[in-house]
Structure 1
Amino acid sequence: MTTFLLIPGAGGAAWYWHRLVPELRRRGHEAIAVDLPAADDSAGLAEYTAAAVRAAEEAGWAAQEAPRTAGSAANGGTRAANGGAGAAAGDLVVVGQSMGGLTAPMVGTRLGAARIVLLNAMIPAPGETGGAWWVNTGQEEARRACDVDEGRDPDGPFDPLVYFFHDVPDDVVTEAMAAGDPAQSGAPFGEPWPLAAWPDVPTEVLVAREDRFFPAGFQARVARERLGVTPRVLPGGHLVALSRPAELADALTAPS
């Protein structure tokens, strides 16, 4: 059994994963959906990391005191109490969606994860702020080119229904709209990414083919340039856990 620690993107809501969690459990795995302090202007990457680690610890996973180095945590995640009462079992996989890619590497290091999965995610470079990431990677140019290719006005107003919810079922969109626009502080985007290098944790990149916000070709280029990784592509848009939860669960649980 694998436990998937699910870190959401901007807005920080565990609700984003509510359709994926039962799909993973149906496949014999466990899932922990994390709520992040997204609305808190005093919360940065350290606080986001702490929130995710705390959610894992509450499920029986123990954080490591020192960063993971080559050859350490060979058996994947660190089980609390050496497998005693209340300890988690199996491997831990940390999944970061979109902005969650800024936090997932720190969380994976702290928890001795067996794997990190970046899902339509920002892939940071050492010392780079989340705010600088957009320009450094060419996201805006890629988004505009995708708009032109697909017949949208690249200079039109930004519409979440067009860029985020275009392939999400109507009832799920209605629920999301009823909850209101999730608050997201700019604090984490102003901080330099703190790691000196990508952690020594096997990392996979999953890209949704119909993502209009982070187009698939853009994501593939950034993954190659920054991690030397060729992504796996699956159907769906930017919010693929809402639009294609079964396909995403299959991708997450497929043999590496």
Structure 2
Amino acid sequence: MATYVLIPGAGGESWYWHRLVPELRERGHDVVAADLPAGDDSAGLREYADTVVKAIGDRSGLVLVAQSMGGLTAPLVCERLPVELLVLLNAMVPAPGESGGAWWKNTGQAQAMADQAVREGRTPSAEFDPEECFFHDVPQDVKAEALSREEPPQSSTPFAEPWPLSAWPGTPTVFLQGRDDRLFPLEFQRRVVRERLGIEVDDMPGGHLLALSRPKELAERLEAYRTRPR
């Protein structure tokens, strides 16, 4: 039995994982879905990592899965606990000393997102549309539930501070990307991950919110990563 530790992206809500959690538990695993202090302006990445470490407690057999902004926090957890595998999921990959806010410009995310819109026959818009960007492949009932929820706050504090590690931790790391992600397009992620981690990106069908749109397929991918020789 493994312990899957699920770290959400911006907004920090464990609800994001609510369709994936039963899939992993049905496969016999313990699951920790963390809620992060995203609305607390006094909380930075160290405090986010503290929250995850506290949620894990004395559990072992740790597999961390970090969604989107969660890529800033997960490596800090790997520095503190014996994590067996880190799975980055449509994630941000920071460079040492780079703030989360600077990441967007440094990686060229805005241009990559606009180019992706053109390739898909959409008009790049100056006004960000979360529904179009995030929920285009999420089932209608799940989308309706998500949009009916109060939008969780996200403090700017974790984006303002330099990423605190001097290097990526030695934890075995894999990167899984939704090939239909409109926020972080696949080829953009291939370039960033190759440059910053020196590993290749795996992909699967789906957009930015794979745990909402394709939880069963995602669970199968995670299990394949967990059980393959490393």
The structure number with the bigger radius of gyration is 1
In the TM superposition, residue 101 of structure 1 has moved relative to its aligned partner by 0.1
In structure 2, the residue matched to 1:144 is 114
Match status 1:130 vs 2:100: yes
Q: Deviations over 1:173-217 (max 9, x none)?
A: 111111122210000000100001000110100001110110011
Q: Deviations over 1:118-175 (max 9, x none)?
A: 0000000000000000011111111000001111111242111110011111111111
1:221, 1:177 → 2: CA distance?
32
Amino acid in structure 2 at the alignment position of 1:51: T
Q: Does the aligned pair in 2 maintain the 1:235–1:247 contact within 8 Å?
A: no
In structure 1, the residue matched to 2:6 is 6
Q: Deviations over 1:43-71 (max 9, x none)?
A: 100110001111101xx33xxxxxxxxxx
Match status 1:225 vs 2:225: no
Bigger shift: residues 154-163 or 94-103: 154-163
Match status 1:215 vs 2:185: yes
2:163, 2:154 → 1: CA distance?
18
In structure 2, the residue matched to 1:15 is 15
Backbone CA RMSD of aligned residues: 1.0
Q: Deviations over 1:10-34 (max 9, x none)?
A: 0000000000001111122221100
In structure 2, the residue matched to 1:82 is none
Aligned residues: 226
Where in structure 2 are the equivalents of 1:1-256 lying within 5 Å? 1-57=1-57, 60-61=58-59, 79=60, 91-254=61-224, 255-256=227-228
1:28, 1:108 → 2: CA distance?
23
Structure 2: 5+ residue runs without aligned partners? none
1:153, 1:198 → 2: CA distance?
37
Runs of 4+ in structure 1 off by over 6 angstroms are: none
Amino acid in structure 2 at the alignment position of 1:227: L
Give secondary structure in 1 for the equivalent of 2:170.
Answer: coil
2:77, 2:95 → 1: CA distance?
16
Q: Does the aligned pair in 2 maintain the 1:134–1:140 contact within 8 Å?
A: yes
Structure 1: 5+ residue runs without aligned partners? 62-78, 80-90
Give secondary structure in 2 for the equivalent of 1:4.
Answer: strand
